[in-house]
Amino acid sequence: MKYYVIAGELSGDKHAALLIRHIKQYDRQAEFRGFGGDNLKAEGVTIVKHINDLAFMGFAEVVAHLPQVLSNISFCKKDILAYKPDCMIFIDYPGFNLRIANFTYQQKIKNFYYISPQVWAWKKGRIKKMQKILDKLYVILPFEKPFYKKHNMEVEYYGNPLLDEISIFKTSENNKENFLKEYSLGNKPIVAILPGSRKQEIKKMLPVQTSIADKYPQFDFVIACVDSFDEEYYKQYIQSKNVKLIFNKTYDILNVAHCGLITSGTATLETALFDVPQCVCYKTSRISYIIGKYVAKIKYISLVNLILNHGVVKELLQSLWNTDDLEKEFRKIAFDESYRHNMKNDYSVLRSQLGNAGASDMTAKSIVKHLTNN
């Protein structure tokens, strides 16, 4: 079978890569092409557009890059027609992927969507369209299946792929002592700084995330960098000397961290699954925030709080994202043992709600079975 995959950002690229690895176990003749990053490329997918050219965040940012977005959509449609895939696999990235899914539905190509658009937060009107154009929707958050059932749409939930990815990491040869020694760490507690994987996120998050580091020399502040950007790009936003940059070792960093300053997104759930007390931060353009606040119907933005439906981790958003408020929360997650203990107890509940590992394998099996039975 020929599969066309579209992942528009780093977390989606990681989830898609593990899914593809399992699809290859069930379909030995599988061929893959699409949009994605280095993780998909490592699994043998022919990448025609890299995620570095795709990851725009916020309403205002998308509008600012609209010509590039439209160009990518046009290119994608032409590339799909030329490749003639048996199916599409869409990974999150809804603004782009749902447009392409509508096109491929019209071309009578099977559409599989992995990691649901956040229609439970906003744009519930998309659900009817999704029912029509998608052959299967696979969700990864426990509250999504009953949500869709309430809206008369059947979806598949096999668990969260982060459980698979973290399990693979923990069972591979990722030795804590070797990592600490390689990067001259371990003499002080480590504060993990995850500024995100997009340019706009790093620019807005990192200056405040690093602003308190020099005030706490008893800690090592470590930035989890991605190789989409070089060291100089990160350094222009760093506000302290007591900071270390480590590339492509996010899980290694979380595996040894005492606490974390985490940009909202998949990273908040990853941090919780590593049992690391955290403060969640996010800031976008003023116009994007105003629009988002108007249309989104949710109390929280971090996945930890959304899944547990209460404020487990502190969310410092927009005007609250400043050095003073950050330091207040940092002192809690770094020094207050009762606060840290309660957060970790909530993390235990979170893990039990997510279920067991195996989502990537079961989703892959379902996709291949659906293709071969029709």
Q: What tens digit of pLDDT does each residue of 41-51 get?
A: 999 999 999 99
φ, ψ dihedrals at 33, nearest 5°: -150, 155
Between 146 and 288, the more confident residue is: 146
Between 198 and 14, the more confident residue is: 14
* DSSP-assigned beta bridge partners for residue 281: 263, 316
Q: Give the pLDDT band of residue 236 (cuts 50, 70, 90).
A: very high
Residue 373's pLDDT is 83
Angle 33-34-39 from CA coordinates, rounded to 5°: 90
Residue 354's pLDDT is 94
At a CB cut-off of 8 Å and minimum separation 6, what does 216 contact? 191, 242, 330, 334
Average pLDDT over residues 170-193: 91
At a CB cut-off of 8 Å and minimum separation 6, what does 68 contact? 53
The residue with tokens 């950002």 is 9
| Full DSSP string of 98-145 | HHHHHHHHHTT-EEEEES---TTTS-TTHHHHHHHH-SEEEE-STTHH
Residue 121's pLDDT is 75
Residue 291's pLDDT is 47
pTM: 0.90
Extract the tokens encoding 317: 């958003």
Average pLDDT over residues 283-293: 57
pLDDT at 173 over 90: no
Mean pLDDT of the chain: 92
Extract the tokens encoding 183: 């990067």
Distance of CA 47 to the CA centre of its chain: 19
Distance separating alpha carbons of residues 238 and 226, to the nearest angstrom = 15
Distance separating alpha carbons of residues 205 and 133, to the nearest angstrom = 37
Residue 242's pLDDT is 96
Percent pLDDT > 70 in the chain is 92
Distance separating alpha carbons of residues 245 and 247, to the nearest angstrom = 7
pLDDT at 55 over 80: no
CB 185 within 8 A of CB 220: yes
128-141 pLDDT, tens digit per residue, is: 999 999 999 999 99
pLDDT at 338 over 50: yes
Domains of the chain: 2-159+358-372 (3.40.50.2000), 174-354 (3.40.50.2000)
Extract the tokens encoding 300: 């929280």
Extract the tokens encoding 226: 């991605």
Residue 42's pLDDT is 97
301-326 pLDDT, tens digit per residue, is: 899 999 999 999 999 998 899 999 99
* Helix (H) / strand (E) containing 338: helix 337-354
pLDDT at 294 over 50: no
Distance separating alpha carbons of residues 54 and 57, to the nearest angstrom = 10
Residue 141's pLDDT is 95
